[in-house]
């Protein structure tokens, strides 16, 4: 009779499970254009993919996805693009945040990064972020960011 310790059994079981997608909570894109043109491209990509732009500067684009009211409070989601560049190349970093508020919508209970493992409305926002990133620079979007667990 073979006896396995609990930890050895856990290792055997873990080895047989498929690996999940790597967690990705931001997208870094490389655009071959100056920053002023890159801002216009980001605004256009956001708009084309359902991310309504609410704020834009020469180095920042923001899409406020509004608040939803649910059991135990309110949730707000925002997508931000930060642009860093030179005369011929711009790096764009896309991030999404989900902020959970109390029932009044005044006190922050929790702040989360929207990532490729997000579900529900956060998952929908992630898909819009990836779609916008694909328009801008599909080569920089990792396969794991596109895949939804």
* CA distances, 31 to each of 50, 59, 61, 126, 145 (Å): 21, 14, 15, 20, 18
Radius of gyration, alpha carbons of the chain: 19
pLDDT score, position 148: 58
**Would residue 13 count as lying in a domain?**
no
On whether residue 69 sits in a domain, the answer given is yes
Flag whether 15 is in a domain.
Answer: no
- Whether residue 8 has pLDDT greater than 80: no
| Cβ–Cβ under 8 Å, residues 75 and 101 | yes
**Residue 83 belongs to some domain of the structure:** yes
Residue 119 counted as domain residue: yes
Model pTM?
A: 0.81
- The predicted pLDDT at position 21 comes to 61
Q: Considering its fold, how many domains does the chain have in total? A: 1
The CATH number of the domain where 86 resides is what? 3.30.310.80
- Residues 118, 121, 124, CA angle at the centre, nearest 5°? 75
Residue 64 lies in a domain: yes
Note whether residue 46 is domain-resident: yes
Give yes or no for a contact between 36 and 63, defined as CB atoms under 8 angstroms apart: no
Strands (E), the chain: 26-31, 53-57, 60-70, 73-85, 90-101, 108-113
Model confidence over 77-119: pLDDT tens digits? 999 999 998 889 999 999 999 999 999 888 999 999 999 999 9
79-88 pLDDT tens trace = 999 999 888 9
For the cut 50, the answer to whether the pLDDT of residue 125 exceeds it is: yes
Task: Write out the residue range of the structural domain in which residue 49 sits.
Answer: 23-146
Identify whether 18 is part of a domain: no
Q: How far apart are CA 100 and CA 34, in angstroms?
A: 36
Structure confidence by residue, pLDDT tens digits, 29-63: 999 999 999 999 999 999 999 999 999 999 999 99
């Amino acid at each position: 009779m073979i006896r396995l310790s609990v930890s050895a059994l856990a290792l055997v079981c873990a080895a047989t499970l498929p690996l999940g997608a790597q967690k990705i909570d931001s997208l870094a894109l490389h655009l071959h254009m100056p920053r002023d043109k890159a801002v216009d491209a980001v605004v256009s990509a956001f708009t084309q993919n359902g991310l309504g732009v609410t704020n834009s500067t020469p180095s920042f684009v923001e899409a406020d996805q509004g608040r939803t009211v649910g059991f135990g409070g309110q949730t707000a989601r925002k997508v931000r693009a930060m642009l860093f560049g030179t005369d011929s190349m711009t790096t764009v970093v896309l991030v999404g945040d989900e902020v959970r508020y109390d029932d009044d919508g005044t006190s922050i209970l929790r702040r989360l990064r929207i990532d490729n493992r997000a579900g529900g409305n956060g998952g929908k926002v992630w898909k819009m972020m990836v779609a916008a990133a694909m328009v801008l620079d599909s080569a920089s979007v990792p396969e794991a960011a596109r895949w939804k667990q």
